[in-house]
Structure 1
């Protein structure tokens, strides 16, 4: 019997670019608020707002945009010009409308394992935005299922993998976040494969787990060989 029957992929910064658009927009945010606070102070205040607001707005561009506006109001003691608020809203819309760009080896990696495995996409964020990106990616037809979740915790993977053939023990999660993709999947007995990305959101950092089911690859071009090795 095959050891590995289900392979799940993260989406943002695993299959396609995402964090760099947040990075560029945060630079624009710092320029707009440059007369009121230093960039490092703004970054810290914005990160605190994002962390505070995840439970209210969830992950994604809309929550990020609202956190920028909230931070702008806070650091200016309510004196932020309406024109700046308008530009922050425009920046958020630009992020939502930005054309999707697949990461190197993404399509080949998915196509390389599709024939012999049940494939899932498991991503968090805004439902409409993630559905739009998947449609633009051209990869949608390769997945047997798509899960757009509010967060990725061990119980998320237990729910998704638990009812599939082989359960959690025969499942693998592939992603760029140690905190959201790798560690919680391993916590329920699945394989976790870390694919590093040059840019990573501060709230997604975590230590690598000490587990035989943990693997790190340089990029997605190495995934097929790893899957074949596991069997």
Structure 2
């Protein structure tokens, strides 16, 4: 409820904007403040909670304890529930920023990709899928090793494809067309997978990003239709 209008129920988004920032003013150590913030993320399922966490990490009293920060992300990426707020946060806040993308990608997947291959547990595969699908903005040299290992698991082929596709289409997407084509050709995907033929077409032609040559994608779609 609103303090000013006690009979008015606030939406989850309004609660996030009104109250989450106060978590980092609580008389708690930084790790406990962050755990409380992640608890509110679980409760509210609002992207703004992740913004407040990032603000606290970047402010004069930051950074926040990295082990607690990234453990919080990993746990929610593994959970058997929606993770849209977390994956959107990774995509637009951590992965699009080249000052943080390498560390963020390593923490949520890169450091664990060997373990994903070894264990192939559903929770690790779930995390890997979610990270791969939103990893388009991560620099190619950072994510290519993880992509190269992920193609060994058929359970991740669809996610690798989504990662390659967003690496091409995202405004900040990054890929090497020759290496990306080599990975694409290792994926076992249905022949009618949407955008599969068009993506192969632009990679064969050596294009690196939709926005550096927007006509190339349109030409590819026409050629493959």
Q: Which has the higher contact order (CA 8 A, sep 6+)?
A: 1
Would you tell me which structure has more helix in proportion to its own residues?
Answer: 2
**TM-score band, normalised by the shorter chain?**
under 0.3
TM-score, normalised relative to structure 1:
0.25
